[in-house]
Amino acid sequence: MRGVPRPLALALARAVGLVAVGVGLVLGATYLPAPINLAQGATPTRATRAPAEPVTQTRLICPGPEALGIEGLPDSLPQTVSVAAAAAPVESLPPGLVTGPGDGSLAISGLPSGGKWAVSATVRGQVVSGQVSTARSALVTGVGTLAPGVVATQWSWIPEGNSRGLVTAACMPAATSSWLIAGGAGPGRLEHLVLANPGPNPVTVDLAVFGVKGRIDSPDGQGLTVAGHSRTVILLDAIAGSEPSPVVHVMARGGKVAAFLSDTWLDGIVPRGGDDVVSLAEPAREQVIAGVPIDGRAILRVAVPGDSEAVVESRVLTSGGPRPLPADGVTRVAGRSTRDIDLSSLPPGAYAVQVRADVPVVAAAMVDRRRAAGAPSDLAWSVASLPIRTLAGMALPTSEVKGLTQRLDLAATTDPASVRVTTVGVDGRVSTNEVAIAADSVSTLSLNGATSVWVTPLTGLVRAAVVTSVTDAGGVLLSLTPLADLTLTATPSPLRQLRDQ
Amino acid sequence: MRPAVRPVVVTGVLVVHDGAAWLTECLDALSLQSRPLDRLVIVDTGSTDDSLRIAAKHARIRQVVGDVVAISALHANTFGEAVGHAVEQMTFGSEPSGSESSESASSQAVTGAQWLWLLHDDSAAAPEALAHLLDAALRSPSVGVAGPKLVTWDDPSRLLEVGSVITRSGRRVGGPETGEPDQGQHDHRNDVLGVSTSGMLIRRDVFETLDGFDPAFGQFRDDLDLCWRVQLAGHRVVVAPRARMREAAASTNGQRSHGLSADAARGRDRRDGRQVALARCSPYAAPVLAIWIALASLGSAAVLLVAKRPHGAWAALGDFGSLMTPWRPMAARWRSRGIRRVRRRDLRGLFASPRAGFGHTLDTIHEGVAPLGAGSGSARSVDDGAGSALSLESGPASEEAESLERPARGAGWRILRHPGFLAVMAGALLAAATWRSLFGALIPSGAGIAGGELLPVSSNASGLWHAWLDGWHGAGLGNALEPAPYLPVLSAGAWVLEHLPLIGASTSSVGVSIAWLLAAAVPLSAWTAYLGTRVVTRARWPRAWAALAWASLATLTTAVASGRLGAVVAHILLPLVAAGFACAARRSARIWTTFGAALALGMTGAFNPALAALGVLAALILLVVGHGRTRLRAAVLLLVPIGLLGPWILQLVDNPLLLLTGPGLTVWRGATAVPWQLGLLHPGGPGSYPVLLSAPIVLAGVIAMSRCRADSRTMTVLAVLMMAGLALGVASPHVIIGLIPQDLAGAGNPITVWAGTGLDLAALALIAAALRGFGRGSARLSRPRFRWRQILVLCVVTAAVLGVVGSMAMAGWVGVGEALTRQVPKTPAVAAEQAHGSWGNRLLAMSREGDTIGYRLVGAEPGPVVRDLPGAVVAQDPLLAAAVNSTVGTSDVTSTTAARDALADLGVGFVAFHGASTEPLVTQLDATAGMTRLSNNNGQILWRVLPRENAVGSSRLRLVDAEGAPLVSIAVTGDHGQTDVSLGPATSGASSALSSASASDGRRLVVAEPNRWAERARVTFAGRRLEAIAGAEQPTYLLPPIAGQLSITLAPTHQWWRWGQLGLLLVVLFLGAPLGLTRSRRTP
């Protein structure tokens, strides 16, 4: 450092020292990134998701007499319907479902309240039944241990007169959106829309009716109010009277409603029968309609809810595998429109219909039974349903009906499937039966003598429907009831109190 | 023959009492009178010094006057008594020896023209004094008294008194001030209410008619009393300014060996003045005047105390003494009965107007709050707590040299050229440029800002204040945790905002005040830095550079852009705190700087505890190494912040980790800057600008620290501070102080310490060092030697200036970033309105978060304002969980109203769901009995919880019968159920429908708060304290069936500590406010 003034040397030393410490700190922080953990408490673990629990309450609504209590019209004819409800026998319940100890009950009541009802059931498999002949729906409530796996069916059998026909309808939980496919043009053909609100608050319902020429806009279908604990019946003809191929979308605001569409036809003095439809599937790019027993006139009705045109590819599934449609196997359906595809030329047999489209569609099939032109007939609707994941079932109309035949139609798609079919006899005897279905085919099983039938899926994608028919002197009365996948368990949404930050 | 030659006989009455110091000069002056005295009576009142000897030996006076008599009045205690004794002697006693009988006879003939000239032994009349006095006195036969202009003994050019001007309440106003330069400004006076006894020329018959001085007023203001009576008796009192007398005012100044001290004399003077007014005013006005004196005394004392004039305040309080002895003015009034010849209102013109008295007080206050140093060197008076030499006009006399310091240009020009002002303005421009995208958030009627570390808050000053003060506070159901200490500061800011004129009411004045604070952070930082750097250098332009360097630091711009409130406030206050410490370490610190720094440190601690801890550490060091007064100041700096932060300190003891946190001082997510950027004072985050722009500041600081100079000790301290700050800064991102809790986004991730706090310290040291090292750069540049050093200094200074300019430009260009946004109220308007309404309705806000449903109870009470370390989750209230479960539980639609009742019991009036309307929960809530959907706006669906069957809606307070059925809702007036309402008796209203059993059991008050609320609540009804019924689900109180006032308050957790905090704050504010002068106000 000779020659450099002493203050300068000192200054240099200081500067070097300062810079060295600073650089040392920075380098230390860069290359020694081990964190100093002062956090208190252990490492937090992720909260486990709440397990699914058996439902503790099931509420199903049966439409009740569809023709009674139409808004603005006096009741023309008396009508009585029967309601049967049952809880799935233990044998049919999927493995792992433990309903737990404790009491449960299954009861039917009126909606709005009223009517006389049988005492409630407390045993699984036991059928509770009742009759409604007033303008009200029936509310089937299963609570406690009997809540999981409750089904109910409303049916009416009228062998004679203008109302001749056999009608079965699955009772449904209330929903915010229902797609109802039934009805048509023709003199004397009426579509009753039954809306039942089991909740305490009024619900506003908007209807969207789709037809072959597009959506039918009508102010009458907007803002319908269904009071709490009550039902409303309206005639769809007021909105779309001459529509040959109506499809109704029921949208509920401020609550849920159970929606049913009753399609009855009195062609002059010739009773052409009727059937009730419910909504089992929301619009999707694949719809499968199980239980389409064709023997005569039959149609497939497809509706496109969206704006875009759909390319619809349809085929039927038979016991021998899939078959193409006789005509219109691939067809175009304009957006917001419906289309009927004739299936009448198919040979008689048990079918399922598979519909695929490039945009979501809804679909249903109607079959007709008519001995001869001019003779009375009966029509039946089967709607597309979802594959059974947990359990499906149906309380069957009593075997007291003369000439009653009941058959379970199973349809498997994509892969071979197998199911366990459980039936409960009149004597309460439970019998199970494993059924295998080949891929893309259907299989049938007779149910005669059973009070309820239950389908527990084992493998594959299976849809099921019950075909109920009565053969009498006037011909065949037919009704189709696709089975809905039941909700046995519920996963409660975990509740969490949020922080204020 | 008429004795026309000398019709006027003037008898001097000189009262002597230990006046040896002045007596010779006094007698000399008397002997030099151009109109000599006819007689002189020297009255001695028991002098113990050689006054008597001086009087006896003074030959010249005897030559001039001839008739000089010395008498003794040992019993006389006062001047008045002495004079009275002398006059008695002259009238009734033997004629003073040596007088000639012929002259005696002639003088008897002109008794009416006999005058008495009253003289003090500490006065010296100018040669023409008597002549001028007689001139004034004889000008009109109505003149009874004439007085001279009194000037100070030492400097005849300074005034003492030119007649006395008082208010009607006896207070001296209107000057002249003691020591006021005599420029003839009072020479216009003629008729006055009174003149001093010193040099008073009074007609002998008047004196005798009035029976002389009143003994009630002793030594002080007896002159005023006498003159007042003279006036009342129909004579005039005039002052003759041309007659000058020097007066030592020895008694008043405490210069008499046995007299009162100066302070006591002033007090007596003041009191006696008031008593004279009480004695001589109209008897009807006396009580009013007494009340007025009491009120004015209290008011003046309070105002003067606030203006930090404790002496003046004490003196003002002394006026009370005049009311303590009411018998004295009453006796005086009795003695003087019957003398009044004129109406009192004829004297009106002689008093000072009330306005003059008020203006006088204002002057005093102005003097107290006048800027420091503005009146340095001016003479001040504590008489009356008043006297402002500042307000006087200076004449062209020689001593007005001080006025030459005034600049030639106006004040506006001076301000415009002031570097500090320019720095603050530049900071304001930078702030305006930075906030260009968020101007809308600064609208006073808006909701302020949110985002970054700022949580959405909708509250006003009162809400925030109660969130801090009340024992039960906080959002939702509330809690009893110790509130954050910064809440009252924010509350004060919001309060100021709310009370600004011409500004519309805001729904969230807290949010707006935070927005304003953040927006003003840059200019405020520049301002405080400019003020604080005064301890480093007096050079203004370098200080302006330092101010802007401090205000444009990345630590501030990023803190503002991220809403790191604690960092912003600390950045603003840090220069003041540091300057306060620097002052405290020196010998010459003023009290207010110490207390101001302590206050700033306390406030910094409320926002940034780490800095307060370092400050306390520094104070401790100062306490150990300092000496004398430094230790005292260090103790103040140590104890005041601790006292101000109060019970919150206990929290620190429980959880020392809180020291590292603070409002917005944690990093939850987002990358921190890499260490080399930290080394260049950039903590990273929104609001960052190019890092290298800060390099010149670091460079300048390091070079300055490296230089060897006389103040190397300071540089060493700064270097240590810089290194400590840098170490803290680079270590902070590695310190994990917590993990993000499960229920928040980013759960499980570490929460680290924000690096900016340490970097702020490092920056402070660097800037201070640079300022100290290069602050006088221009001086260095002019040195002839060491060329290399000049070049170095030039380069460093240029780089530092350019660096700051570049930083400001880029910070302005980058702007405030995206993190902060305008706050949009999340609570629907109707729910917010009801929350602040009389039922205090709550909103149950729900949202779907993944597979869970989150819920939160929102009331009028504000939650946290800024993100901090997550505290322990407040235990979930089982009632709330049950209510929510019954509302959104898996069970299907029920016909019962269980959900509604459970919600109403918690005061929930509204339920909101944030999410898609297709959510099953929406349908479920739609179908829930007792709830009706109100609206669906912006993804938020709102339901109203309907009133129950008996129309009792959701409310915080409700009356129920013995079965628990609600009877009526009770209005609340505050947060968390606080109220003060009157209730009718139990028989009225719904209770008539009750069964007899329940009526006998009585009604109950149920509070929609958790049970622990009852521990903090004080519930009184009809004056009696109620205790909560044990075992109830919610706080329940049995109400007596009588009518009464129901009052519910939530006492603060540490009530006495809170009072202490408030008291300490007031004291510190008083002592810390830079008002008034701490140096002596006495006239030297």
ipTM of the complex: 0.77
Residue of chain B with shortest Cα separation from A6: B708
Place of tokens 């000072």: B352
Whether chain B has a CB inside 8 Å of the CB on A48: the answer is no
Whether chain B has a CB inside 8 Å of the CB on A74: the answer is no
CB-CB under 8 Å, B735 with A39 = no
SS3 assignment, position B772: helix
Interatomic CA distance for residues B1024 and B1040, integer angstroms = 10
Whether chain B has a CB inside 8 Å of the CB on A56: the answer is yes
Percent of chain A at pLDDT > 70 equals 94
Pairing, β B750-753 against β B735-739: antiparallel
> Which 469-508 residues of chain B touch chain A by CB within 8 A?
474-476
Q: What is the DSSP letter of B166?
A: B
CB A257 within 8 A of CB A58: no
Q: pLDDT confidence of A230, banded at 50, 70, 90? A: very high
Residue of chain A with shortest Cα separation from B664: A501
Whether chain A has a CB inside 8 Å of the CB on B892: the answer is yes
SS3 assignment, position A425: strand
Pairing, β B957-960 against β B666-667: unpaired
Output the pLDDT for position B782: 52
Interatomic CA distance for residues B296 and B302, integer angstroms = 10
Output the pLDDT for position B711: 65
CB B598 within 8 A of CB B1070: no
**Two tokens at A456?**
């527990």
CB B848 within 8 A of CB B855: no
Q: What is the DSSP letter of B194?
A: B
- Per DSSP, what are the bridge partners of residue A315? A324, A354
- Cα B301–Cα B304–Cα B306 angle in degrees, nearest 5: 110
Interatomic CA distance for residues B889 and B920, integer angstroms = 11
Interatomic CA distance for residues B87 and B71, integer angstroms = 11
Q: Report the amino acid identity of residue A437.
A: I
Whether chain B has a CB inside 8 Å of the CB on A19: the answer is yes
Of residues A391 and B370, more confidence is placed in A391
Q: pLDDT confidence of A340, banded at 50, 70, 90? A: very high
Is the Cα dihedral B306, B308, B310, B315 positive or negative? negative
Interatomic CA distance for residues B1049 and B719, integer angstroms = 53
Interatomic CA distance for residues B378 and B372, integer angstroms = 12
> Which 933-962 residues of chain B touch chain A by CB within 8 A?
933
Residue of chain A with shortest Cα separation from B474: A500
Whether chain B has a CB inside 8 Å of the CB on A34: the answer is yes
Q: Which of A15, A55, A495 sits opposite B852 (nearest CB)?
A: A495
CB-CB under 8 Å, A30 with B854 = no
Name the nearest CA neighbour of B147 among B52, B46, B43, B240.
B240
Q: pLDDT confidence of A500, banded at 50, 70, 90? A: low
Whether chain B has a CB inside 8 Å of the CB on A3: the answer is no
Closest-CA distance of chain B to residue A101, Å: 18
Interatomic CA distance for residues B1056 and A160, integer angstroms = 93
For an interface test with B, give the residue of A26, A257, A282, A488 to mutate (most B CBs within 10 A).
A26
Interatomic CA distance for residues B758 and B298, integer angstroms = 50
Measured between beta carbons, the chain B residues lying within 8 angstroms of A52 are none
CB-CB under 8 Å, A35 with B750 = yes
Interatomic CA distance for residues A421 and B676, integer angstroms = 74
CB-CB under 8 Å, B678 with A198 = no
Query: Is the pLDDT reported for residue A262 higher than 90?
Result: yes
Of residues B623 and A11, more confidence is placed in B623
Count Cβ–Cβ pairs < 8 Å, chain A vs chain B: 196
Q: Which of A10, A498, A500 sits opposite B864 (nearest CB)?
A: A500
Measured between beta carbons, the chain A residues lying within 8 angstroms of B733 are 29
Q: Report the amino acid identity of residue A460.
A: G
Q: pLDDT confidence of A48, banded at 50, 70, 90? A: low
Whether chain A has a CB inside 8 Å of the CB on B747: the answer is yes
Name the nearest CA neighbour of A212 among A111, A339, A386.
A339
Place of tokens 């049952």: A86
Output the pLDDT for position B991: 43
Q: Which of B856, B863, B921 sits opposite A497 (nearest CB)?
A: B856
Output the pLDDT for position B408: 47
Whether chain B has a CB inside 8 Å of the CB on A2: the answer is no
CB A472 within 8 A of CB A25: no
Q: Report the amino acid identity of residue B809.
A: A
CB-CB under 8 Å, B475 with A496 = no
Interatomic CA distance for residues B774 and B697, integer angstroms = 12
Measured between beta carbons, the chain B residues lying within 8 angstroms of A10 are 708
Beta-carbon count within 10 A of B670 CB: 11
Q: Which of A15, A47, A252 sits opposite B706 (nearest CB)?
A: A15
Output the pLDDT for position B896: 66
**Two tokens at A326?**
């006789």
Interatomic CA distance for residues A144 and A121, integer angstroms = 12
Q: Which of B851, B884, B926 sits opposite A201 (nearest CB)?
A: B926
Whether chain B has a CB inside 8 Å of the CB on A254: the answer is yes
Closest-CA distance of chain A to residue B706, Å: 5
Residue of chain A with shortest Cα separation from B707: A11
Question: 3-state secondary structure string, B986-1038?
Answer: CCCHHHHHCCHHHHHHCEEEEECCCCCHHHHEEEEECCEEECECCCCCCCEEE
Q: What is the DSSP letter of A176?
A: S
Whether chain A has a CB inside 8 Å of the CB on B100: the answer is no
Measured between beta carbons, the chain B residues lying within 8 angstroms of A490 are 890
Whether chain A has a CB inside 8 Å of the CB on B362: the answer is no
B201: left (phi over 0), alpha (psi -120 to 50) or beta: beta
CB-CB under 8 Å, B719 with A18 = yes
Q: Report the amino acid identity of residue B417.
A: R
For an interface test with A, give the residue of B790, B846, B890 to mutate (most A CBs within 10 A).
B890
0.80 exceeded by pTM: no
Which helix or strand (DSSP H or E) is residue B931 part of? strand B931-937
Whether chain A has a CB inside 8 Å of the CB on B669: the answer is no
Measured between beta carbons, the chain B residues lying within 8 angstroms of A489 are none
Length of chain A: 501
pLDDT beneath 50, residues of chain B:
1-6, 92-111, 370-408, 892-895, 988-1000, 1077-1084
CB-CB under 8 Å, B851 with A49 = yes
The full DSSP string for B284-298 is THHHHHHHHHHHHHH
Place of tokens 């004679």: A160
Output the pLDDT for position B366: 63
Output the pLDDT for position B364: 63
Whether chain B has a CB inside 8 Å of the CB on A494: the answer is yes
Place of tokens 């149910």: A447
Q: Report the amino acid identity of residue B227.
A: C
pLDDT in tens, A176-205: 899 999 998 888 888 999 999 988 888 999
Interatomic CA distance for residues A384 and A230, integer angstroms = 28
Residue of chain B with shortest Cα separation from A38: B737
Residue of chain B with shortest Cα separation from A44: B748
Of residues A371 and A359, more confidence is placed in A359
- Per DSSP, what are the bridge partners of residue B941? B913, B936
Closest-CA distance of chain A to residue B826, Å: 13
Whether chain A has a CB inside 8 Å of the CB on B884: the answer is yes
**Two tokens at A29?**
């922080």
CB-CB under 8 Å, B923 with A255 = yes
Measured between beta carbons, the chain A residues lying within 8 angstroms of B889 are 492
CB B218 within 8 A of CB B77: yes
Helix axes B565-585, B609-625, angle to 10 degrees: 10
> Which 228-247 residues of chain B touch chain A by CB within 8 A?
none
Of residues B480 and A3, more confidence is placed in B480
Measured between beta carbons, the chain A residues lying within 8 angstroms of B854 are 495-498
CB B831 within 8 A of CB B909: yes
Q: What is the DSSP letter of A44?
A: P
Is the Cα dihedral B829, B832, B836, B837 positive or negative? positive
Closest-CA distance of chain B to residue A28, Å: 9
Whether chain A has a CB inside 8 Å of the CB on B853: the answer is yes
In Å, how far from its chain's centre is CA A114? 27
